[in-house]
Amino acid sequence: MANRRNYTVSLSGTQYSTNPTTGVVLTSTVVNARRAGRSANDTRRAKPVGRFIRPTAYVMNEYSESWATGTFYSYSKNGGYSNLLSGVLAGASSPQSLMSSSGGGLTENIDGTLSNKALMQARNKLKAQKVNLGQAFAERRQVSSQMLQTAKKLACAMTNLKRGKPSAAGACLGIGGPAKTAKSIADQWLGLQYGWKPLLSDIHGAVLALEAKDSSEWMVTCKGKAVSRLSDNKQYGNVGSVAACFSDIHITKGCFVRIDASPASSAVATAASLGLTNPAQLAWELLPYSFVYDWFLPIGDYLNQLDSCAGWDIRGFSSSDYVLAEWRWTGRSTSSTANGGTSYHNVWTARRRSVTVNRSVNTSVPFPILPWIKDPVTSGHVKNALALLAQAFL
């Protein structure tokens, strides 16, 4: 069944061209002068099992835009007024064209470098997670402690019975001693059953309760986030052109990564957090002045997260990329020396707004990409500079 919330709307507009001498008005139709739409794969989540709700994939794009609307005319000292254009100005280009010609090189594309950064952040947090495997296994520790204390009490009671001290044996169990008429140690031990039976019963109940616990109750959640905010406020277009304009563009891009995991091996996870399972990261840290290189390229962070999932059972992973774009252009008046001096009056506005969300899910945590300079023009220079830096510090 199609998503009822999805829609596409398109309206045509009209451009009016008025001859200032004759007063004749000509009209022309501009297709897609205003557009709006939404597409998403909204689906209902399956009923959760236990306390944990697995993430679901989701893609959504919503936008609205309008063509340049306003007025444009020119006036020259030698020729007077030219045709007056009003309404939807076809010559000012569509929002799509303005995005490429006067968008400052900005796009609505998802930024993969932010996804990579958020992923590394979340993985490093998982590695540094203290859940103390103390807190995650708190209930197991309580049961273990209870078993230990009970074993000591029982051993204390039996030892005192063998020594012929039934009163002391009862004290170990927190009750009065058995009747002195009991002859054998077995009979005396049975006489203490009101002390040792409740202890064993409590242990049995605690173990059963622990066994019934859902592992999600020990689950930890680690998050990573990366955001960039871009803007463009410049002037574009040639003198005398109806497309001459000022830009006012603001684009926010980001990524949110979430990892849900349950402790699988406290020993392995602790070893990983101490750096014992990652010789590559240890070797990097031992390099002279490696921290200096990390200021330019986060190699250390990349190596550190390689074993971040060691000792953990991954319950869910999601990576949510989003882009919020606000585009606005306003007409820019210009002037020239033609015909004794000509002024071009550009009074119009065009806009576009879009929101994009893309959430991907997995049952495992992917590895991030090693950060590097992607610009082919400057990457060679940066590599040379880093090489010189390495020689200087070695």
pLDDT tens per residue, range 188-238: 555 556 565 666 666 665 555 555 555 556 678 889 999 999 999 999 989
Q: What percent of the chain has pLDDT over 70?
A: 60
- Of 15-19, 55-59, 303-307, 356-360, give the lowest mean pLDDT range: 303-307
Q: 42 pLDDT exceeds 50? A: yes
Question: What does the pLDDT average to over 241-253?
Answer: 94
Residue 86 identity: S
Q: 82 pLDDT exceeds 80? A: yes
Cα(first)–Cα(last) distance of the chain, in Å?
Answer: 65
Q: How many Å apart are CA 175 and CA 193, to the nearest integer?
A: 10
Q: Burial code of 307-340, b = ≥16 C-beta within 10 A, e = fewer?
A: bbbbbbebbbbbbbbbbbbebbbbbbebeeeeee
pLDDT at residue number 5: 80
Question: What does the pLDDT average to over 173-188?
Answer: 58
Q: Which residues pair with 84 in a beta bridge?
A: 18
Q: With beta carbons less than 8 A apart as the criterion, state whether 120 and 224 touch.
A: yes
User: Which residue, among 291, 287, 310, has the nearest Cα to 300 in the 3D structure?
Assistant: 291
Residues in the chain: 394
Q: What is the mean pLDDT of the chain?
A: 75
pLDDT at residue number 330: 95
More confident residue, 212 or 365: 365
pLDDT band of residue 384 (cuts 50, 70, 90) is low
pLDDT at residue number 282: 46
Q: Where are the domains of the chain?
A: 138-215
DSSP structure class, residue 215: G
Q: 270 pLDDT exceeds 90? A: no
Q: At what angle do helices 193-211 and 138-162 cross, to 10 degrees?
A: 160
Q: What percent of the chain has pLDDT over 90?
A: 33
Question: What does the pLDDT average to over 330-358?
Answer: 93
More confident residue, 285 or 146: 146
Q: With beta carbons less than 8 A apart as the criterion, state whether 174 and 156 touch.
A: no
- Of 27-31, 45-49, 102-106, 337-341, give the lowest mean pLDDT range: 45-49
More confident residue, 376 or 331: 331
Q: Which residues pair with 350 in a beta bridge?
A: 329
pLDDT at residue number 202: 63
Across 154-163, 258-267, 299-308, 337-346, the highest mean pLDDT is recorded for 337-346
Side-chain half-sphere of 214: how many Cα atoms within 13 Å? 9
Q: How many Å apart are CA 370 and CA 287, to the nearest integer?
A: 18
Question: What does the pLDDT average to over 327-341?
Answer: 91
Question: What does the pLDDT average to over 165-177?
Answer: 73
**pTM for the full model?**
0.65
pLDDT band of residue 373 (cuts 50, 70, 90) is very low
pLDDT at residue number 338: 84
Q: With beta carbons less than 8 A apart as the criterion, state whether 65 and 33 touch.
A: no
Non-local CB neighbours of 354 within 8 Å, separated by 6+ positions: 61, 62, 63, 64, 108, 323, 324, 325
Q: 353 pLDDT exceeds 90? A: yes
DSSP structure class, residue 276: T
Q: 143 pLDDT exceeds 80? A: no
Q: With beta carbons less than 8 A apart as the criterion, state whether 301 and 259 touch.
A: no
Q: Tell the burial category of 213 from Cβ atoms under 10 Å away from its Cβ (0-12, 13-18, 19+).
A: exposed
User: Which residue, among 290, 379, 347, 375, has the nearest Cα to 92 in the 3D structure?
Assistant: 347
pLDDT at residue number 44: 66
Q: How many Å apart are CA 68 and CA 87, to the nearest integer?
A: 8
Rg (Cα) of the chain, in Å, rounded?
37
pLDDT at residue number 321: 95
Question: What does the pLDDT average to over 171-183?
Answer: 61
More confident residue, 390 or 339: 339
pLDDT band of residue 108 (cuts 50, 70, 90) is very high
pLDDT band of residue 284 (cuts 50, 70, 90) is very low
Question: What does the pLDDT average to over 355-374?
Answer: 75
pLDDT at residue number 289: 45
Q: How many Å apart are CA 362 and CA 369, to the nearest integer?
A: 17
